[in-house]
Amino acid sequence: MTIVNNVTRLLDSRKIKYTTYDLPAEKLGALETARLLDLDPASVFKTIVVTRDKPRKPLLAVVPGNSNVDLKLLAAALNEKKVYLPTEREAEALTGLQAGGISPLALINKGFQVIVDSSAQNFSEIHVSGGQRGLNIKLPVADLTRLTNARFAAVSRLEETE
């Protein structure tokens, strides 16, 4: 049973080719999603809510599942002195979405600036959250960036593995 929500309706209305993947409706990270779908973790992107000093408008950093957002690189890309990671609860309040379901596609026209890690350009398609827990969407990188008015910047670093 395919999930239909505002994100899939938007993609359909814009005639964008995408594939949905139903996952357990619990909070899954990008690495867990990649494991469940047997994908390269670098192709499954997570959306990180970030705030800045002024204006207090949050932004979205879309980074590979096997990486962390690098706040210094992100601040430099935005010409900001400093940017901050809000708590999970603050991120949910800012977006109106549950952690694990925050998606740049669900926040189009909501005033969020979107920065996609430049590593996304290594793929023709990437996976992102479909705007709710349990829904993953694969779509062309070009369509994601066009829809969200995103720009590319190197804003992540590989997670340290032990």
User: What digits encode the pLDDT tens for the residues 111-157?
Assistant: 899 999 999 999 999 999 999 988 999 999 999 999 999 999 999 99
Q: Identify whether 112 is part of a domain.
A: yes
How many domains does the structure of the chain reveal? Answer: 1
For 90, phi then psi, to 5°, come to -65, -40
Q: How far is CA 87 from CA 9, 50, 130, in A?
A: 30, 10, 21
Contact 128, 45 (CB under 8 A): yes
Task: Kindly report the average pLDDT of the chain as a whole number.
Answer: 92
User: What digits encode the pLDDT tens for the residues 4-23?
Assistant: 899 999 999 999 999 999 98
Question: Which tokens belong to 102?
Answer: 């925050």
Q: Identify whether 52 is part of a domain.
A: yes
More confident residue, 69 or 28: 69
How far is it, in rounded angstroms, from Cα 2 to Cα 8?
10
Q: Identify whether 128 is part of a domain.
A: yes
Q: Identify whether 1 is part of a domain.
A: no
More confident residue, 161 or 157: 157
pLDDT reported for residue 54: 72
The string of DSSP codes covering 120-132 is GGG-SEEEEE-SS
* CATH classification of the domain holding 35: 3.90.960.10
Q: Identify whether 46 is part of a domain.
A: yes
Q: Identify whether 60 is part of a domain.
A: yes
Instruction: Please give the residue range of the domain that contains residue 99.
Output: 6-158
pLDDT reported for residue 161: 58
pTM for the structure as a whole: 0.93
pLDDT of 90 higher than 90: yes
The arithmetic mean of pLDDT across residues 15-36, rounded, is: 90
